[in-house]
Amino acid sequence: MITDGYGVARLYKPIAQFDLKDGIKGFDPVGFHGVQFYLGDDTGIVHSWTDTSVVNGQRYFYAVTAYDFGFPAAEIAPSETPISIDVDLRGNIRTGTNVAVVRPSAEAAGYLPPEVEIFEHISGSATGKIMIKIIDPSTIQNSHIYEISFEDTLITDEKTDTLTTKNFSVLDVTDNIMKIEKSTLLNIGDEVPVFDGIQLTLQNEETVTLDELKSGWHRGEVFPFTFSPVTFIGVKGEKRPNDYQVIIGEPGISASKDTSIGFYPLSSKDVNFKVINMLENKEVQFAFAELDGNDGKFTVDPTDAKNTDIIMLLEENSDGKLVYTWQIFMNLKPNGENPQSGDTLNIFLKKPFLLYDLYRFQMKGASLSKELARKEMDDIRVVPNPYIATVSWEPKNTYRSGRGPREIHFINLPQKCTIRIYNVNGTLVDRLEHESTFENGTEIWDVLSKENLDISYGIYIYHIDAPDIGQKTGTFAVIK
């Protein structure tokens, strides 16, 4: 609790705080009773948070509150959602809708967490990344198949044509239910809504551009290349999202297209190279502007970089018509040389998610492995051991004096087992039938006998029998 200037508890200290990025942050200027409300640090709103400081078996209360920033002009301080937690005389807990009660525990023995079982890029060639994070393991839909699809758009202005991603959708193919429809949350930092216990994060490419790190001649001695959309008077090449390979051979290995660009004729000629669309594994047609010589070889004048041959790719549009896309030419560098027969140039592009990109993934829900559970039987523990009068996780007495209900925890149990507790004379004190979810490997004993009587101090023996898995025997002590 945070006290005011008079020492009276007024505010709770948050364990995590997130606020809108709106420029309103720091301490509010109004305050009340000598204390000021902290408005945050413009962190941005998030919708999931993990507490990594909890202790298994301890009960925790979490409250999520909203707050405003008041109205400083009228001397009105910020206000916050109230927190309501009440415990009646019988120990029943009533909370407000913004309060959750959580008691963490270790998973059952043999627990295998959920995972992405299959992830495939079915079609398309996007180079962006898709990350899948499991938020709530208990709600993962086992064996469900999902598809991620995209829409793209051609953004046109006076300066550029850029093929970009418009939105994405997620379809649960198994149930034929659309989980996310036309979301524009396409980049790192965007918070995609959680569905079926999972959350996607997309890392998209901004536009179709050359991947300079992956592209290049296989020999470093060859002159460097320039790769860009075809540019000529009245002509702007389309940014096709493909990968290409230029293979150098002898003149006659291929021939350029007899065409023109603008008013400039480009006649067909035998050349010493061919261009391959690596994604479709087929040859690409091209026009060839030979500005260095007239021998059909792809070269640059070693004394004047302006005299460089230009390869201009011609690819079909949606109407089947050949249009200009990319151009390739070379630049000079010290001690460089023109490509020779046998040289290859690999051109890889960074490509955003586009209409023909389709991803498919399959989830595997949490499961239990009997083989692993058998190995983990030795991990079963009784806590606390020894049990001393009281432990921190036990509820307080709802009356004003005395202790509340007592608890001993058996942890790391298989999902289903029988626990028998004996005194040192071999008398059965109590029997517990444990059957839980995959995520809960704990059984709580109220430290009462099967006759519902207080047990005496001393040494006790427990025996755990898990069908088809195994047995475990141990001891624990109850002392004053």
- CA dist., res. 304 & res. 349, Å (int): 29
pLDDT of residue 154: 67
pLDDT of residue 188: 87
3-state secondary structure of 145: strand
Residue with the two structure tokens 């109407």: 319
3-state secondary structure of 372: helix
Cβ count within 10 A of residue 217: 18
Cβ count within 10 A of residue 210: 16
Cβ count within 10 A of residue 39: 21
3-state secondary structure of 2: strand
How many CA atoms are closer than 13 Å to the CA of 65, on its beta-carbon side? 20
Residues in Cβ contact with 71 at an 8 Å cutoff, skipping those fewer than 6 apart: none
pLDDT of residue 362: 98
Q: Where are the chain's structural domains?
A: 1-104, 114-208+357-364, 215-347, 370-479
- CA dist., res. 250 & res. 263, Å (int): 30
Tokens of 312: 């201009």
E strands in 317-368: 322-330, 344-347, 349-350, 358-364, 367-368
Residues in Cβ contact with 261 at an 8 Å cutoff, skipping those fewer than 6 apart: 230, 232, 235, 287, 289, 312, 324
pLDDT of residue 241: 92
Provide CATH code, domain 370-479.
Answer: 2.60.40.1930
Contacts within 8 Å (CB) and 24+ apart, 216-220: 216/345, 216/346, 217/339, 217/343, 217/344, 217/345, 218/343, 218/344, 218/345, 218/346, 219/343
Q: What are phi and psi of 378, to 5 degrees?
A: -70, -10
pLDDT of residue 389: 65
- Judged on CB neighbours under 10 Å (0-12, 13-18, 19+), 408 is buried
The gap from C-alpha 9 to its chain's centroid, in whole angstroms, comes to 40
Residues in Cβ contact with 273 at an 8 Å cutoff, skipping those fewer than 6 apart: 246, 247, 248, 249, 253, 254, 298, 311, 339
E strands in 211-271: 216-217, 225-229, 231-232, 235-236, 244-248, 254-255, 259-261, 264-266, 270-271
DSSP 8-class letter at 80: B
pLDDT of residue 157: 47
* pTM for this predicted structure: 0.80
Question: How high is the mean pLDDT in each 10-residue block of the chain (480 residues)?
Answer: 81 90 90 87 87 89 93 90 86 89 92 96 94 94 97 62 86 97 92 94 93 96 96 90 96 96 93 96 96 96 96 92 96 96 97 95 96 96 86 55 74 97 95 94 94 92 96 93
How many CA atoms are closer than 13 Å to the CA of 205, on its beta-carbon side? 20
**pLDDT (tens digit, 9 = 90+) per residue, 36-45?**
889 999 988 8
Tokens of 77: 């301080």
pLDDT of residue 395: 59
- CA dist., res. 449 & res. 177, Å (int): 51
- CA dist., res. 82 & res. 348, Å (int): 57
